[in-house]
Amino acid sequence: MCDKIDIPRGKGRATDKMLHDANKGSRDFYKKNSNLITKLKNEFKNRYTNDFIHTEPSRINKYIYQYKRETEESYGRYYASDGCKNQVILDLEKLAKGHDYFDVQSVEISPDEKYIAFSVDKIGDRVCNIYYKEIFNDKLHLVNMNHKSQQGNKETKYINDGEFTWSRNFFRIYYITVDSVTQRENKLWYMDLDTGNKSLIYEEKDEIFSIDLSATDDDEHIILSSISKDCVDSYVIEEYANDAMVRCVFNRNETTKYILNHFGDRWYAIIIKGDNTEIVISYDLKKFNTFIPYDKNRCITDFYIKGGHALMQFKDLRNGKDNLVLIRLCDMKTKLLDLGDFRYTVSFPGFSNLDIHSNKLVMAYETYTNPGQIIEFDMVTYKSKILKTKTTKNINMKDYGEKTIRINNNGLYITILYHKRFINKKNNKCFLYGYGSYGLEDESSFSRYLYSLLDRGFIYVIAHMRGCGYYGDKWYQDGKMLNKINTFNDFIECAEYLIKKGYTTPEKLTAYGASAGGLLMGAIINMRPELFNLVIMGVPFVDVLSEMCDDTTPLTTGEYVEWGNPHIKKYHDYILSYDPIRNINPNNKYPNLLIFSNKNDTLVGYWVPYNYYEKIKESQVYKSGDKDVLLDIKTKYGHKGSSDKFESMTDIAEIYSTVIKYTYD
């Protein structure tokens, strides 16, 4: 189908001068509002009384390790101590100097604790270098992934995107390389660090799958996972002195995910078939018995093992509530941990939990309105203590509230964050956020930024549309492929609800989405432009058909199970029906627009939003000057924006200044 349609090509078409000229509107706006931007940035910077990150000291065997990032730092340092002397073993602040971008992907200590390795992206294009060094020696060694041709000195260059792990038995590193054109993670190698010899041990040839490396929770085994949107295969890497191979555990099933783990003498596997989840157990990876049976009301999302206990996270499919259960592995004694909030984010920081045999578990806990705590939990006595509390300044957390509202009979929810001084007023200024793809759910985590909007009378609303994971897999399936328009309709219904119930008005409503959320923004303004005053589209995937028809870009073959394969007519026609750039109506009364992107983005190439901007700016509402469309393509970042904490604050301050200045009081 794709060769029968006119596909605009923009790769490499926009020169730096063209981008500079196109950015003039946003550049002038930011200059005009520089005082507000500076004020916002200072608010962000001074939001915490203790704006630093210190992991809890944690021992492997020889040494105690800790990561510290001080208040005025962006990257931090890693430390090791023998109990007497504490030394810097990896100084990221020093290494980042001179780089506009420095995004560390992974940091790992070798099993014998003689070396530390890390991967880093220095441009923002997801291409990483892997370095290793002796623990107490600053000299870095590069893992050279290039291969010399047998026919001569010409080298074949392989690209890594940050995936690596240490061998558990030998002086070698396993790493993943990506296809140089599509950046699909497809090959697994190991390098013998004594000799520099490299060996390819696995290649994933199915173009809808990519591969991933992880270690089991007891740190004894390396797992290779081959992943599509609906399927995960698990392989165990078996190591030999002069070789390595992958052992397939489960036969591939395109509707099943197998998540493999190990602790003690037993293997554990989460088996996920849609919302049907269970955990099985095995001693030999041949015979499996049920460990945690299927429950129709429960979707297991994670299973973390430490000190002979497991923490099982699951979602209640009846209401979307997050739950955490502690399980004693020896006798299956369970305890539901009541963390007090309906929705929250809990994690187990790796560098605070290096001692895998300790019954003390360090958890990081936060919500939208709780800045966060570091909690030490004794899994034997069930006693906990708060080690650190993130505290705010210049705002009083008691002044803010959160509520979740069901807005229709299909189960569509919104979460509203607000300042109590404004919530009982009618027609508030409103910021409505949406994503709605890949089964991802907005994490209930604290943001230093959004309170600058709440203090100015905004309500901040998160839409939990179909396509995200609010209710598990079925909610996701109902918003993908031939159901994708459900996501757009749900977001529109959220906006209509807020207006109908008097929370806001179209003149005071801003909508925001990034990446696939940018696609959402592009679709909803074609469908219902009159509902919004300002729409912000970050790194937006707004030319779906062109990108999905081009199998040389990252968002193509692996994304067929998310959007559909446009080479098949029914998917081609369906994508065409909502594709933002192809459904621009020059007579629509579009809202004000801010479109931002980054020159080094390899997930959504900068030419996608640039081409979209060039087309939509010809709409009558912008040509007449009734509304504004601003483009901001930065030249030194990738898909995630800046890696520097303070530059990120500037970027968000620019976005928030746009929201504040374009919203009617």
Side-chain half-sphere of 15: how many Cα atoms within 13 Å? 3
pLDDT of the residue at 193: 95
The answer, yes or no, to whether residue 319 has pLDDT greater than 90, is: no
Mean pLDDT of 458-474: 94
The answer, yes or no, to whether residue 5 has pLDDT greater than 50, is: no
- φ/ψ of 484, rounded to 5, equals -60, -35
The least confident of 120-134, 140-154, 497-511, 523-537 is 140-154
Between 30 and 342, the higher pLDDT residue: 30
Mean pLDDT of 300-304: 94
Q: Quick one: what percent of the chain has pLDDT higher than 70?
A: 97
Helix (H, G, I), strand (E, B) or coil at 647: helix
DSSP 8-state class, residue 337: E
Mean pLDDT of 385-414: 93
The least confident of 302-311, 482-491, 643-652 is 643-652
> How high does pLDDT run on average in the chain?
93
According to DSSP, the residues that pair with 536 across neighbouring strands are 512, 594
Residue 578: enclosing H or E segment and its boundaries?
helix 569-578
The answer, yes or no, to whether residue 138 has pLDDT greater than 60, is: yes
Between 552 and 256, the higher pLDDT residue: 256
pLDDT of the residue at 259: 95
pLDDT in tens, 592-634: 999 999 988 888 889 999 999 999 999 999 999 999 999 999 9
The answer, yes or no, to whether residue 3 has pLDDT greater than 60, is: no
**DSSP secondary structure letters along 450-472:** THHHHTTTEEEEEEE-BTBSTT-
- φ/ψ of 445, rounded to 5, equals -115, 155
pLDDT in tens, 271-294: 999 999 999 999 999 999 999 999
Residue 504: enclosing H or E segment and its boundaries?
none
The answer, yes or no, to whether residue 4 has pLDDT greater than 90, is: no
Q: How many other C-beta atoms can be found within 10 angstroms of the C-beta atom of residue 385?
A: 10
According to DSSP, the residues that pair with 247 across neighbouring strands are 236
pLDDT of the residue at 154: 73
pTM (2 d.p.): 0.91
The answer, yes or no, to whether residue 348 has pLDDT greater than 80, is: yes
pLDDT of the residue at 599: 87
pLDDT of the residue at 478: 96
Helix (H, G, I), strand (E, B) or coil at 663: coil
pLDDT of the residue at 152: 58
Side-chain half-sphere of 8: how many Cα atoms within 13 Å? 15
Between 151 and 585, the higher pLDDT residue: 585
Tokens read off for 260: 């493999």
pLDDT of the residue at 441: 84
pLDDT of the residue at 61: 94
User: How far apart are the C-alpha atoms of 105 and 165, rounded to whole Å?
Assistant: 12
Q: Quick one: what percent of the chain has pLDDT higher than 90?
A: 81
The answer, yes or no, to whether residue 349 has pLDDT greater than 50, is: yes
